[in-house]
Each structure stands twice: as C-alpha cells, then as structure tokens.
Amino acid sequence: MLHPFSVLHTTIISASDENYKEAVQAAVPLLRAGEVVALPTETVYGLAGNAFDEAAVAKIFGAKERPSFDPLIVHVATRADLARVAIIPEEIQNTVDKLLNAFWPGPLTIVLPKHPDIPDLVTSGLDTVAVRQSAGKIFRAIGKELGSPLAAPSANRFGRISPTSAHAVMRELEGRIPLIVDGGACSEGLESTIIHVKAGEKRPTITILRPGPVTKEMLQNFGKVERPKRSSDGEGMTAPGMLPSHYAPRTPLLLLADPSDFRPEPGKKYGLLSYTGEPGKGYVSLHRWSAVEALSPGNGKLPEAALRLFHLLRKLDEAELDFIVAEPVSEVGLGVAIMDRLRRAAATV
C-alpha cells in the first residue's frame, strides 16, 4: 500500500551542532503542523514526523513510497521519553539498561513491546516498536523542543541508497517534503544496528536484526549474540530494514566474491567500488574501468569504508555506467554491516 504525497517547495536550511537554533525554529512549527522534515543524524539523514500523529506518519510513507508492511524507527530525545514509546519487560530490564548506558545516545536501535499510544501505522501493525536515541545534537534538540518522539526512517525513496548529506536528500525527495536541515555529512555513514533482546537461562540472547555501527563484537559483553534469517517479501517482518533487496542504486550492482567471477559484456561500461583502490590489490587491475571509487584509499580501514559507502555508491550511480562492480570486504566488525548493505544493493540484479 502506498500513501499519497503532495508536491511541495523544498527548502534547505543550513545548521551545525554549534549553531542549530535557527534550524530548530524552522523545523518544529512544521512538525507541530503535521508535516515531515529531513534531519541529520550521526548515521544517515532521517525523514522525521511526530510519532504520535498518524497523518504525519502517513506522509512519511507517502514521500518515501514505502510499503506499509515495513515499520519505522521511533527516535526519542531523552531516555525518559522511552516510557512513552515502549514497555520494557521486567525479565530484560537489567540487560536493556546496560545496553542503553553503553550505547545511547548512539547508533543502536532496540525492538521492544510498543506503548499503546504509538499508532499501528508506525509499527506496521506489530506489537513491537523499534526505538533509538540518536547522538545527533540537532535531531535531539528538535525532538526535545517538539516534545514528542519522532518516527524517522532514512530520507530517501524506498529501496534506494540511504542519504548521508543534505544534497543527497534533495536528489531523492525534492518536491515531496517542505524542509531539509543541512547538518553536514553524517559521521557514521551506515544505519543503526537493530537488536532484539530475549531473556535466557544463563545469559540473555541478543538478536541482531540489522547489522550496523554497533557490532557483534561490541554486543557480546551483554549476552549471547545471534543473527536471524531475513524476510524475502515482507512476510514475518519484525523490524525496519529486513528486506533482502534494499539500499540499491539505479545502476545494476554486481557483488563478486572472486575476481574470476567477472565476465564483462562487450560494449558495456563498468565502474568499480574498490576497497582500497590500490593497483595490484583486489579488483583494480582486472579491467579497464570507466570509473573507480575507493572505500578506504590505500588503507583498508573499515570505519572509513562504512562512512564512505553510500556516498560512493551514489557517485557511481550518477556516472552513467551500465554496471557497478563491488569488491567485497572482510566480514569482521563493521565489515559485516558493509557486506549486508552490498548484498542487499545487489539483490535486485
């Protein structure tokens, strides 16, 4: 089901962590009036609306052309707001408190039983809600001034590359939303880690529903960590961002496990998303590429690769190529989240 959107004039207002009051004054009246605005977080830009306003939430779905079976994340400005959004079961209260103390505010989203005041549209009819407290100062200031938690998925059209700059949001949603708050480039570059916590006999089980900046290695101190199977068509969705096809450029993306798998078609233009971009390493010398972009030039550092991933995917997508070839990275730490995004970006091919 798609929700309609109105054609609007989209304005960008510049802000920074040090000078954000003008942005707050511009965004909050729109949110109070039931509009949606694009806001920067430390992960990616989010498309925010009052989480308690079902009409505003419907505008989020409409602007993104997002199917109604894919639930949204609700962002709280303060820890105290969590009780307005979710109910923490007693048997996991201690574990949840430890996780929040360690990772909030930050890129960790926790799936919990939802508070009755949260509209079913936010959670796609589920009895659980995904909640996080962003480390983005502008985002939290706007939520605090509004006095309401914000429902906010990534500020892009459904299935497309997540935006890590205001310019990328404008390319995706111009004419669909009234305001973009430009807080500069996001510092993490990948969407938050989403987890579910369940009590266990000896240790709690922490299921990573979507990998992100808070890695498996970072979560292991808090319980037994596992990964679930992904949904293929939305059936059994338990959290946002679980579809196998997502984060995709318009240009077909090929994720090759081995250089020998590359068999170029004559007359086609290929671009390479390389890990380090170094000749003699990986895939750089494999072909006369029309374009080469490196996730971590010369270094092979996963945090830098994560930060640059969506920006470079978007750059290659705008290079008029026939195909983008992505070189895999090591699946340790942040590499798990990077490979998760690349696999899903390639799933449409």
In a domain, 304, yes or no: yes
Question: Which pLDDT value is given to residue 1?
Answer: 39
Residues 188-204 have a mean pLDDT of: 95
Quickly state the pLDDT bin for 6 (edges 50, 70, 90). Answer: low
In a domain, 49, yes or no: yes
In a domain, 340, yes or no: yes
148 and 295 fall within a common domain: no
177 and 260 fall within a common domain: no
142 and 18 fall within a common domain: yes
Please say if the pLDDT value at position 245 is more than 80. Answer: no
Q: Which domain holds residue 65?
A: 11-182
Question: Which pLDDT value is given to residue 234?
Answer: 47
Quickly state the pLDDT bin for 226 (edges 50, 70, 90). Answer: very high
139 and 272 fall within a common domain: no
258 and 177 fall within a common domain: no
Are residues 147 and 82 in contact, defined by beta-carbon separation less than 8 angstroms? no
Question: Which pLDDT value is given to residue 111?
Answer: 98
In a domain, 236, yes or no: no
Residues 161-166 have a mean pLDDT of: 97
Question: Which pLDDT value is given to residue 340?
Answer: 95
* Angle formed at CA 251 by CA 249 and CA 252, multiple of 5 degrees: 95
| Domain final residue pick, 182, 211, 241 | 182
Q: Is the peptide bond before 89 cis (omega within 30 degrees of 0)?
A: no
In a domain, 295, yes or no: yes
Give the range among 5-9, 97-101, 203-207, 313-317 with minimum mean pLDDT: 5-9
34 and 173 fall within a common domain: yes
Give the range among 24-33, 201-210, 237-246, 336-345 with minimum mean pLDDT: 237-246
Question: Which pLDDT value is given to residue 44?
Answer: 97
270 and 136 fall within a common domain: no
Nearest to 118 by CA among 133, 101, 100, 131: 131
Are residues 273 and 325 in contact, defined by beta-carbon separation less than 8 angstroms? yes
* Mean predicted lDDT score pLDDT of the chain: 93
**Rounded distance, CA 24 to CA 9, Å?**
19
35 and 172 fall within a common domain: yes
In a domain, 47, yes or no: yes
Quickly state the pLDDT bin for 237 (edges 50, 70, 90). Answer: low
Question: Which pLDDT value is given to residue 77?
Answer: 97
23 and 164 fall within a common domain: yes
Question: Which pLDDT value is given to residue 18?
Answer: 81
**Rounded distance, CA 323 to CA 252, Å?**
5
Question: Which pLDDT value is given to residue 240?
Answer: 82
Please say if the pLDDT value at position 181 is more than 60. Answer: yes
In a domain, 155, yes or no: yes
Question: Which pLDDT value is given to residue 208?
Answer: 96
> Which phi and psi angles does 264 have, rounded to 5°?
-65, 145
Residues 162-177 have a mean pLDDT of: 97
Higher confidence at residue 239 or residue 40? 40
**Rounded distance, CA 296 to CA 275, Å?**
6
Task: Give the chain's domain count.
Answer: 2
| Domain final residue pick, 156, 182, 208 | 182
In a domain, 78, yes or no: yes
pTM of the model: 0.93
285 and 176 fall within a common domain: no
Q: What is the pLDDT of residues 55-80, one digit of tens each?
A: 999 999 999 999 999 999 999 999 99
Question: Which pLDDT value is given to residue 239?
Answer: 79
Give the range among 6-15, 19-28, 64-73, 217-226 with minimum mean pLDDT: 6-15
Question: Which pLDDT value is given to residue 300?
Answer: 87
Domain with residue 177: its CATH number is 3.90.870.10
Domain with residue 331: its CATH number is 3.40.50.11030
- No. of H helices and E strands in the chain? 10, 15
Quickly state the pLDDT bin for 2 (edges 50, 70, 90). Answer: very low
| Domain final residue pick, 128, 162, 182 | 182
Are residues 272 and 287 in contact, defined by beta-carbon separation less than 8 angstroms? yes
Please say if the pLDDT value at position 7 is more than 80. Answer: no
174 and 259 fall within a common domain: no
Residues 120-146 have a mean pLDDT of: 97
Quickly state the pLDDT bin for 295 (edges 50, 70, 90). Answer: very high
Owner of token pair 């949603």: 173
Please say if the pLDDT value at position 83 is more than 50. Answer: yes
Q: What is the DSSP letter of 235?
A: T
Amino acid identity of 172? E
